A and B are shown apart, each in its own frame.
Chain A
Amino acid sequence: MSTATATVAGGRPARVRRSAPRHSLTRGSALGLGVGMIWFSLLVLIPLAAVVWTAGEDGLGAFTDALTNKQTFNALKLTVLSSLGVTAVNIVMGTIIAWVLVRDRFPGKKLIDLVIDIPFAMPTIVAGLVLLSLYGAESPLGVEWNNTRKAVFLALAFVTVPFVVRTVQPVLEEMDTDVEDAAASLGASRATTFRRVILPTLAPAIFAGATLSFARAISEYGSLVLLSGNLPNRTEVASVRVYSAIEGGNPQSAAAVATILLLVALVAIVVFDLIQRRLARRG
């Protein structure tokens, strides 16, 4: 089989390289893999397994306790709804920002490119501090949004700004305007061109970014600590609930909420993937 590939490829090195068999483990690399796996298990796999295990130790008891506790339920509800809302905002705004960055030209565009990276470079606790300066008590805008749900939404929007932009941008850069022009010259309206040509191409990137935004938003903690006030039933999010359960010496209920968060993230990944496939197929 490999001879055939090599002959067909006619000596092109790339082809030959791909068909070359990879090495099986030598003694040195097997040792390396062993050490690496032990470290990875001790650091990541066993601790995460411990979370799920601790949550499920008494069957579903810890989960029903968590979900029937009004404060925990409200925290989870706020987390999931705010994250969905922020993700929707990111899908629209992220795509528009990427669009302007790739297709438009004006002075100061570089600055926008830079501003988008700020939330990544900023430690989360500092992000909260930064938002407090404009939307907190001494706001020059005259709004006092600290300790409200608006603050939760703001913090999540702030930390997730770059995700959709940075996933859509490279796809837009590589996309040829020829196809759009062809569609337009064949009489397609702008709306049709957008729906049938642009959207299917961008959909995978948009939803990859959306998945990242959502996963980040439901697990956010640092930026909310100073900003949201963590008021029970009003502005308290799920990771704050997990934290107070740990502090309160109740690791099992902390583990239950943590496991629910992990499940929500998994469900979101599957759902976003389904939506993305449906949109991509429309092309």
Chain B
Amino acid sequence: MASTASTAVARGNPVLKWVLRLVVVGYLFFLVGWPSGLIVRRTFEGGTQAFSDALNDPDVTHALQLSGTIAIFAVLINLVFGVGMSLLLVRYEFPGKRALSALIDLPLAVSPIVVGLALILVYNPRYGWFGEGLDAHGIQIIFAKPGMIMATTFVALPLVIREVVPVLEDMGDDQEQAATSLGANAWQTFWRITLPGIKWAVVYGVVLSMARSLGEFGAVKVVAGNISGETTTAPVLVQQKYQNFEQQTAYAVSFLLVAAAVVCLIVVALLRPKDHTTSRATATAALQEKP
């Protein structure tokens, strides 16, 4: 077993050191690096032609717009819900708090397809628990934007909370109490004391939610149904274009999606102060499913 040589690596057993390096580089190169590079190369094979073609395709612009709109709504909802819930969980005492705190992580452990199924069972207009009643009032959720926004909100729900809660706990409420005793009301305390303290955690939570929301595929696909065009988001369009042998368009849209996520992550990495408490590991782990 390679990793038996703890001190050897630190003190320099060259053979083992090189073996470990090669194993790591080889594994990541074949699994992630090479395929990712190939895709970028194939995307730009014809220069930027694929992009201009793609952006002139009404399907593509519609899908990108739809994805953007849905992601913005989902992120806004999760921002308000996340900051509010974090404050309640950290600053207040109420029965069932521990259970609620555990349940909030639940969406990260559920398959996207199951998320879609869950929403369909409750909100579809034919046999859904609430869907029939809502349909009678002319409100359509499944196979329409509200359902797609809900699905996206569901999968990204814990991200803001998981960033904000540890920072709030660290911060304590001394300053908030001081502000209150000096006559500040709840809003003033929140805007002037609490919010500046959790600013970076909120920003990071929002960016992670944005990256996750833009790329959500399974959950949205289930609730969007097969209404061609109208409810096709960018990730779903990638699948359709690829299967219709329009690979170049699929590559171009994929590239735009990945670029958006990467730009989000880089901007935050640059903006964020170095001494920020939330470690990168918890942040990246939070981006994906967690039981």
Contact = CB atoms under 8 A, between A and B. Distances in A.
Interface string A224-249: 01100000000000010011001000
For the complex, would chain A's binding face be called helix, strand, loop or mixed by DSSP majority?
A: helix
Contacts of B214: 123
B6 A190 contact: yes
Interface stretch (A1-9, A66-74, A215-223, A275-283): A215-223
A166 B87 CA distance: 27
A124 interface: yes
Interface string A32-46: 110011011001111
Interface in A45-63: 45-48, 50-51, 54
A24 B287 CA distance: 32
A140 B37 CA distance: 12
Given A166-B281, A212-B290, A190 B84 contact: no
Interface in A93-117: 93, 95-97, 99-100, 103-104, 106, 112, 115-117
A43 B36 contact: no
A50 B100 CA distance: 19
Question: Which range contains the number of A residues in contact with the other chain?
Answer: 35 or more
B32 interface: yes
Interface in B204-231: 211, 214-218, 222
B106 to A, nearest CB: 6
Given A154-B31, A170-B281, A239-B111, A129 B238 contact: yes
B3 A194 contact: yes
A97 B91 contact: no
Nearest to A199: B3
Interface string B70-92: 00000000000100110110011
The 3 closest A-B pairs by CB, nearest first: A123-B215, A219-B111, A47-B118
Interface of B: 1-10, 17, 20-21, 23-25, 27-28, 30-36, 38-39, 42, 81, 84-85, 87-88, 91-94, 100, 103-104, 106-107, 109-123, 127, 129, 150, 153-154, 157, 172-174, 186, 211, 214-218, 222, 235-236, 238-239, 242-243, 250-251, 254, 257-258, 261-262, 265, 279-281, 284-285, 287-291
